[in-house]
Amino acid sequence: TDRDKILEGALYGLVDSLDDPYSEYLSIEDLQEMQIQLGDDYQGIGVEVTQENNRVTIIVPFAGSPAQEAGLLPGDQIIEVNGVNIE
């Protein structure tokens, strides 16, 4: 409906106005597409990451994931895995 389109546009604008590279609004369709791409075979700690300055940087930990339970936050950088420096 038009009301839903207006609300979704407002949400996109609100998140965009934060000027935060780690914040992103996902519509229901976007979320469903991401879940399809990840599939049932997803394995990992439960984060979306990017590479910044040659470091793996967390964009967002997934709700209920091991990453969230461990306290990882957007902007955290992964520099070591199982005691092995990955820089």
Model confidence pLDDT, tens digit, residues 74-87 = 999 988 888 888 87
- Residue 40: pLDDT above 80? no
User: Model's pTM, two decimal places?
Assistant: 0.52
85: β partners: 80
The residues spanned by each domain of the chain are 1-40, 44-87
Residue 36: the pLDDT is 78
Nearest C-alpha neighbor of 31 from the set 11, 50, 17: 11
Can you tell me the distance from the alpha carbon of 65 to that of 26, in angstroms, rounded to the nearest whole number? 18
CATH architecture, domain defined by 44-87:
Roll (2.30)
- Residue 41: pLDDT above 70? no
- CB neighbour list of residue 64: distance below 8 Å, 6 or more residues apart: 46
Model confidence pLDDT, tens digit, residues 53-76 = 888 889 888 888 899 999 999 999
* 3-class DSSP assignment, residue 52: strand
